[in-house]
Amino acid sequence: MAGRVAIVGVGQTHHTSRRDDVNLPEMVGEAVRAALADAQLSKKDIEAFIFSNMESFEGLLLPDHGMITEVGATGKPGLKVTGGGTTGSEAVGEACNLVSAGLYDITMVVSWQKHDCGDATAGISAAAVPIAAKGLVVGAVSEFAKQALSYINQSGAREEHAAMVRLKADRCACRNPYAHLRLGLKGLDDYLQSGYLVWPIRMLDFCPQSCGACVVILASEERAKKIHKKPVWVVDFEVAHQEPFSAGSFGDPTGTETYSQDVAAARLYKRNGITDVRKQVDMAEIYEPSTWEEMSLYEHFHFCEKNEGWKLIEKGVTEIEGEFPVNPSGGVIASNPIGATPVLRIAEAALQIRGDAGEHQVTRDVKTAIATSLGGPNWTAMFLLKRSL
Partner 1 sequence: MAQVTEKLEGMDVWVYHGQIYIPNTYSAGAVGSRFLIELRDNKKIMGTRCPTCNLVYVPARSVCKDCFGELSEWVEVSQKGTLLTYTVAYQSNPIQPVSTPIVYGIVQLDGADTGFVHMLGEVDPEKLKVGTKVKAVFKSKKERQGSILDIKYFKPLG
Partner 2 sequence: MSEGSPTKKAEGPEYIRIEFDLPRHYNWSTGRYLGKVYAEAKENKKMVAPRCPTCKHLWARPPAPVCPKCKVDMGWDWVELPLTGTIFQYTYQVYPLWDPHEGERWSNPHPPAIILLDNGIYFRHLLEETDTKKLKEGMRVQAVWEEDYEKRGKGFQDILYFRTIEE
Partner 3 sequence: MAERVAIVAVAQTKYHPNRADVSEEELAYEAIKQVLEEAGLTLSDMDSAITCCQDAYDGRTIASLSLQRVVGAHFGHELTVAEDGINAAYVAMAEVLSGHFETVLLVSHMKESQAEKSVIENCAFDAILMRQLGLDYTSAAALQAKRYTDKYGITPEQCAKAVVRNRRNARNNPFAQEPLDITVDDVIRSRMLASPIRLLDTKPISDGSCAMIMTTEEKAKKLTKKLVWIAGVSNCYETHYLGDRELADCDALVKAAKKAYSMAGIDDPLSQIDVAEISTEYSYQEPLWLEGLGFCGRGEGGKLVDSISLEMGGQLPVNPSGGVLPGNPNGVAGMARIAESVLQLRGEAGTRQVDGAKVALAHGYTGICGQHQAVMILSNM
- What is the binding site for partner 2 (CB under 8 A)? 20-21, 59, 119, 121-123, 125-126, 129-136, 138-139, 141-142, 145-146, 149-150, 195-200, 242-243, 245-248, 253-254
What region, left, alpha or beta, does residue 321 occupy, with left being phi > 0 and alpha being psi -120 to 50 degrees?
A: alpha
Nearer to partner 1, 40 or 69 (CB): 69
Q: Is 7 helix (H, G, I), strand (E, B) or coil?
A: strand
Amino acid at 344: L
CB 369 within 8 A of CB 286: no
Q: How far is the CB of 91 from partner 3 (least distance, A)?
A: 9
- The binder of 72, among partner 1, partner 2, partner 3, none, by C-beta within 5 to 8 A per type, is partner 1
Nearer to partner 2, 42 or 199 (CB): 199
Measured CA to CA, the distance from residue 19 to residue 344 in angstroms comes to 19
CA angle 127, 131, 134 (to 5 degrees): 60
Site string for partner 1, 218-247 (x = CB under 8 A): ------------------------------
**Within 343-382, which residues bind partner 1 (CB under 8 A)?**
none
Measured CA to CA, the distance from residue 304 to residue 67 in angstroms comes to 43
CB 63 within 8 A of CB 23: no
CB 37 within 8 A of CB 10: no
Site string for partner 3, 9-38 (x = CB under 8 A): --------------xx--------------
CB 219 within 8 A of CB 105: yes
**Within 118-177, which residues bind partner 1 (CB under 8 A)?**
118-119, 122-123, 126, 130-131
Q: Kindly state whether residue 156 participates in binding partner 3, applying the rule CB under 8 A.
A: no
Q: Kindly state whether residue 269 participates in binding partner 3, applying the rule CB under 8 A.
A: no
- The binder of 77, among partner 3, partner 1, partner 2, none, by C-beta within 5 to 8 A per type, is partner 3
Q: Kindly state whether residue 180 participates in binding partner 1, applying the rule CB under 8 A.
A: no
Q: Sign of the CA dihedral 58, 60, 63, 69?
A: negative
- The binder of 199, among partner 3, partner 2, partner 1, none, by C-beta within 5 to 8 A per type, is partner 2
Q: How far is the CB of 220 from partner 1 (least distance, A)?
A: 23
Amino acid at 68: I
Helix (H) or strand (E) segment spanning residue 379: strand 379-386
Distance of CA 235 to the CA centre of its chain: 18
Measured CA to CA, the distance from residue 32 to residue 19 in angstroms comes to 17
Q: How far is the CB of 327 from partner 2 (least distance, A)?
A: 25
The stretch near partner 1 (CB under 8 A) out of 12-20, 178-186, 188-196, 329-337 is: 12-20
- The binder of 55, among partner 1, partner 3, partner 2, none, by C-beta within 5 to 8 A per type, is partner 3
Please report the DSSP string for 96-111 in residue order. HHHHHTTS-SEEEEEE
Q: Kindly state whether residue 69 participates in binding partner 1, applying the rule CB under 8 A.
A: yes
**Within 39-68, which residues bind partner 3 (CB under 8 A)?**
49, 54-57, 59-62, 64-68
153 exposed, middle or buried (CB, 10 Å; 0-12, 13-18, 19+)?
exposed
Name the site residues for partner 1 (rule: CB under 8 A): 18-26, 29, 42-43, 58-59, 68-70, 72, 74, 116-119, 122-123, 126, 130-131
